[in-house]
Structure 1
Amino acid sequence: MTAVDRPAERTTADLLLEWDRQRPRSRQRELGWSEVGGCRRRAGYRLAGAEPTNPGGSVQAVLGTAIHDAVQQRLVETAAPEDLVEYPVEFAGIPGHLDRYEAEHARLVDVKTTSSRWLDHIKVHGPERSHLWQTNGYAAALIGQGRPVREIVIDYIARDTGDLHRWTGRPDPLQVKAALEWIRAVRSVPVDMLNRDYAPDGPFCQHCPFFNRCWDGATPGRDPRSVLLVEDPDAAGWAAKLWQARQDIAAAKDREAEAKGALDALRPNEAGGSDVLDVGFELGLLWTITDSERLDTTQVRAEYARVGARPPTKTSTSTKLSFVPLPDGPAP
């Protein structure tokens, strides 16, 4: 067999993604509750019945699916007759699959996998809006079937550490109302005018099944977000937005430094991590002091120069955009 005839080698990641794309839920075309509250343009494509332009999916999502499948298998073996496992529901015409419903406690449980970094964020800030809307949508569907729901649980599991954080709450009709209003707003706007709610270089966009269609029209060889100027060719307006954003960042950094400096009067530790301090705010304060060592590049260059050699370097490219006075105009 020649190199031309030999089939392309598939990595383990390729095989995992192939498996994931064959699952019925991966081939779902209509908008589901798991996408409500996420990217509005992606939801718009779903509601419009658009065909995906990209395979979508990620290895991280496959790992999450494996965890769900393991939990589902065990629950099927141990669940009470009235319990529900991987149960299809529908509310307001939007379908979904709840992970489990424990009838004895009237408890709806949903499992989410995440990174340990984002898990730390959730511990402080709580569940994402889309997760609250999804689980409350499931609860509304169950209540519509005559099944009581007294508690909603979201189990967050970090894929890289196995750490688990359990959030609990009660069904909230206002969350369902907000979700339905969001869906109505998406339906009322032509899909090509809907917001792109995530960055094109981020994981949500990178694994979106509509990525190519969504960012089509960008200037070749430039940032995919250059399509925004193509759609709205107001360069002065975009420059004003950039200027204001940088002013806001600078002001926010000043406020942060001021508040952090003031609170340093309460810092109890000189090294390591402190105990959590309750100052009457809704969250506690935790100081962490770490020592780090950085390469002394000046010394390294001097040592290489001493022996007549150049230190190894790695080329990288970055794009800097600055504001400068116009030759014949006033300074900003």
Structure 2
Amino acid sequence: MSIDPGTITVPDLWKGAHRDDRTRPRSRQRLLGPSSIGLCRRRAAYEVHGAWPTDLDDNMHAAILGTWLHEGILRVLAEQYGAHTELELTNGVILGHADVYWAPGGAAPGVVEDVKTKSTRALDVVVRQGPSQHEWFQVHLYAHLLRTGGLTDHPHLPTGKPLPVDAVRLRYVGREYGQVVVHQRMYDEDVTRQALAWAEDVLESAEPEAMPRDLDGPGLSIICDNCPFKTACWNIDEISDDRAPQSILAEDAVGVTDALRAYADAAEVESAAKKRKAKARKTLDAADPGTYGAFKLSWSGGNPRPPEPDPAAMIRVLEGLSLDIPMKPGGRSSRTIGVTRVPEAT
């Protein structure tokens, strides 16, 4: 029997992966999770009020790859080092799953750890700027729930009883090349209090729309781009004429004035910064690559380019041959904004 390989059905990996991802407990969680605290109050409020997601994208390949890598990392830490992993924690209001708990032993302190997989670009931000506030909030809340008896069913640890946590750790792993960056600090009650106050603000909200949008919105924030409540939050279905979602923030004269002030202020700072940057760039023009104090200098480019087509010369040749020049629709030019400050009346 001869079979054409081209007729054999190949199951769609990503369709199955997205269906699998949506059935995970974390994806269906209704209580406020530590991973949402400190990120965006309106997004967290949608979760707390049980709003149904308006944006369940089927292109979250990187996130799902990160989930698969994450599971492998936790398995290695558990099997090779004896770590306790995937601990469900709750106080009845906040529900979270701590990645790793290292129980104290001998001189070793108790440590709660969160593992995050990142793209190379995102990992570079962590190296340069350190963990974000919401990431420190997250791991401190895990520590708080462990310290206050929030552990639920567990095969090896006592549940419902306080467990010692002296330090918190964030372990970042690069998805492309496996780079590892670790940040850790001693547990800080002040950070926990700030995180709990942030959570309380959301939990007391009457509705999601009562909470502010803490991020810049679609096209300006990757978190907003991938938010499951993006359409509801930014009223994207109601925006016409290809206007930016952020245009809903300037619905009246006050909103327009605030945006103009922000634009003018930023433009003035940007202009001054560009001048300083341009002078510094010219100052460095003859500097050799290397490390200078807290800075590393490197150079790229400067190579000769191959010849390129000359559009103007091509047009002249076609015109000389009395041939029609092929044209394509011009479309519309991009709109240019002009913002100037009105002099104060004397």
Instruction: Quote the offset at 1:113 in angstroms.
Output: 0.8
1:252 and 2:270 aligned: no
Distance in 1 between residues matched to 2:258 and 2:129, nearest whole Å: 33
Distance in 2 between residues matched to 1:224 and 1:311, nearest whole Å: 37
Instruction: Quote the offset at 1:233 in angstroms.
Output: 6.1
Match of residue 169 from structure 2: 153
Instruction: Quote the offset at 1:97 in angstroms.
Output: 0.6
Distance in 1 between residues matched to 2:51 and 2:114, nearest whole Å: 28
Give secondary structure in 1 for the equivalent of 2:228: coil
Equivalent residues of 2:260, 2:339 under 8 A apart: no
Match of residue 289 from structure 1: 299
Q: 1:121 to 1:230 in 2, by over 3 A?
A: same
Give secondary structure in 2 for the equivalent of 1:25: coil
Instruction: Quote the offset at 1:115 in angstroms.
Output: 1.1
Match of residue 21 from structure 2: 20
Equivalent residues of 1:64, 1:159 under 8 A apart: yes
Pick one of 196, 216, 219 that aligns with 1:198: 216
1:130 and 2:134 aligned: yes
My pick for the range that moved more, 227-236 or 148-157, is 227-236
Render the CA deviation track for 1:104-161: whole Å, top value 9, x for unaligned: 3322221101111121111121111111110111111122233222332211111122
Residue type of the partner of 2:198? W
Instruction: Quote the offset at 1:226 in angstroms.
Output: 1.7
Match of residue 102 from structure 1: 102
Q: 1:51 to 1:113 in 2, by over 3 A?
A: same
Distance in 1 between residues matched to 2:277 and 2:33, nearest whole Å: 39
Residue type of the partner of 2:262? K
1:277 and 2:292 aligned: yes
Q: 1:213 to 1:318 in 2, by over 3 A?
A: farther
Uncovered stretches (5+) of structure 2, i.e. residues with no partner? 1-9, 150-161, 320-324
Give secondary structure in 2 for the equivalent of 1:97: strand
Q: 1:91 to 1:219 in 2, by over 3 A?
A: same
Instruction: Quote the offset at 1:300 in angstroms.
Output: 2.5
TM-score by length of 1: 0.79
1:242 and 2:252 aligned: no
Q: Kindly report the root-mean-square deviation, in angstroms, between the aligned alpha carbons of the 2 structures.
A: 3.6
Distance in 1 between residues matched to 2:326 and 2:136, nearest whole Å: 53
Residue type of the partner of 1:207? N
Distance in 2 between residues matched to 1:324 and 1:96, nearest whole Å: 47
Instruction: Quote the offset at 1:285 in angstroms.
Output: 0.6
Match of residue 213 from structure 1: 232
Match of residue 29 from structure 1: 30
Instruction: Quote the offset at 1:322 in angstroms.
Output: 2.2
Alignment of 1:79-98 (within 5 A): 80=82, 83-91=83-91, 93-98=93-98
TM-score by length of 2: 0.76
Instruction: Quote the offset at 1:244 in angstroms.
Output: 2.3
Q: 1:42 to 1:304 in 2, by over 3 A?
A: same
Instruction: Quote the offset at 1:224 in angstroms.
Output: 1.3
Equivalent residues of 2:32, 2:94 under 8 A apart: yes
Give secondary structure in 2 for the equivalent of 1:192: helix
Give secondary structure in 1 for the equivalent of 2:114: strand
Residue-pair matches, total: 309
Instruction: Quote the offset at 1:242 in angstroms.
Output: 2.0
Equivalent residues of 1:301, 1:311 under 8 A apart: no
Instruction: Quote the offset at 1:318 in angstroms.
Output: 6.5
Distance in 2 between residues matched to 1:95 and 1:306, nearest whole Å: 70
My pick for the range that moved more, 166-175 or 251-260, is 251-260
Match of residue 336 from structure 2: 321
My pick for the range that moved more, 242-251 or 26-35, is 242-251
Q: 1:46 to 1:317 in 2, by over 3 A?
A: farther
Equivalent residues of 1:114, 1:156 under 8 A apart: yes
Instruction: Quote the offset at 1:315 in angstroms.
Output: 7.5
Pick one of 114, 117, 120 that aligns with 2:118: 114
Render the CA deviation track for 1:257-283: whole Å, top value 9, x for unaligned: 456666x49x851xxx41x322xxxxx
Bigger Rg over Cα: 2
Equivalent residues of 2:139, 2:168 under 8 A apart: yes
Distance in 2 between residues matched to 1:208 and 1:167, nearest whole Å: 26
Identity of aligned residues (%): 28
Distance in 2 between residues matched to 1:84 and 1:154, nearest whole Å: 16
Instruction: Quote the offset at 1:209 in angstroms.
Output: 1.4
Pick one of 164, 171, 187 that aligns with 2:187: 171
Q: 1:141 to 1:311 in 2, by over 3 A?
A: farther
Residue type of the partner of 2:122? W
Q: 1:10 to 1:128 in 2, by over 3 A?
A: farther
Distance in 2 between residues matched to 1:102 and 1:85, nearest whole Å: 9
Distance in 2 between residues matched to 1:92 and 1:214, nearest whole Å: 27
